[in-house]
C-alpha cells in the first residue's frame, strides 16, 4: 500500500465548503438564472408588441409621405419663390424621399411574410426587433430632413407673402395715381 507523501496535508484538505461559500454560490447561480429569465421575458414582450409597433411605424411613414408630397406640391405651385430657395428645398425633399423609400423598403422586408398566423407573427416580430435600430435611425434622418423642409417652406411662404404685399402696394399706388389724374 502506498501512503501519501504528506499525511498531515490529507487531513487539512477537505471538500467541505463553508456555509457562507455555499450560500454565495447559490445566490450567484440564482442571480444568473434570474437575469436570463428577465432577458427572455423582455425579448418575448418585445416580440409580442412588435405587431403593434409595426402598424404604428407604417402609419407614421404614410403620414410623413403625405406631408412630403404636400410640401412638394406647395413648392411646385408657387411661382414667387426664389429659385435658389426652391433648389435648396428640392434637395431636402429629395433627401427625405430617399429616406422614406429606404424606410418603406425595410418595413416591407420585415412584413413580407405577413402578420396573419401565429408563427408568422412571431417571425415578423423577431425580424422587426432585429431591424428596429435601423428603422429608428431612418426615422431620425427623416425627421431632420422634414424639419429642414418645413423651415424652408415657411421661408418660401413668407417670401410669397412679402412679394404679394409689395405687389398689392404697387397696385394701390398705381390706382391712386390714376385716380389723381
pTM: 0.56
Measured CA angle at 60 (ends 68, 78), to 5 deg:
15
Query: Are the C-beta atoms of 156 and 88 separated by less than 8 Å?
Result: no
Q: Where are the domains of the chain?
A: 51-180
pLDDT score at 32? 96
**What secondary structure, in 3-state letters, does 113-162 show?**
CCCCCHHHHHHHHHHHHHHHHHHHHHHHHHHHHHHHHHHHHHHHHHHHHH
pLDDT score at 167? 82
Measured CA angle at 37 (ends 36, 43), to 5 deg:
90
Interval 87-121: pLDDT, tens: 777 777 888 888 888 887 877 777 775 555 566 66
pLDDT score at 7? 52
Amino acid at each position: 500500500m502506498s501512503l501519501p507523501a504528506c499525511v498531515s496535508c490529507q487531513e487539512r484538505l477537505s471538500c467541505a465548503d463553508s456555509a457562507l461559500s455555499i450560500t454565495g454560490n447559490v445566490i450567484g447561480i440564482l442571480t444568473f438564472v434570474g437575469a436570463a429569465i428577465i432577458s427572455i421575458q423582455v425579448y418575448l414582450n418585445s416580440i409580442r408588441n412588435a405587431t403593434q409597433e409595426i402598424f404604428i411605424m407604417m402609419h407614421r411613414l404614410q403620414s410623413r409621405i403625405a406631408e412630403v408630397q404636400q410640401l412638394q406640391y406647395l413648392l411646385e405651385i408657387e411661382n414667387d419663390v426664389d429659385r435658389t430657395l426652391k433648389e435648396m428645398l428640392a434637395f431636402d425633399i429629395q433627401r427625405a424621399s430617399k429616406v422614406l423609400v429606404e424606410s418603406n423598403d425595410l418595413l416591407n422586408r420585415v412584413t413580407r411574410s405577413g402578420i396573419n398566423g401565429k408563427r408568422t407573427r412571431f417571425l415578423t416580430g423577431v425580424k422587426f426587433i432585429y431591424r428596429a435600430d435601423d428603422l429608428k435611425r431612418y426615422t431620425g434622418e427623416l425627421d431632420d430632413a422634414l424639419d429642414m423642409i418645413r423651415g424652408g417652406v415657411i421661408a418660401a411662404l413668407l417670401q410669397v407673402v412679402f412679394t404679394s404685399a409689395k405687389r398689392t402696394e404697387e397696385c394701390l399706388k398705381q390706382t391712386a395715381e390714376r385716380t389723381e389724374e
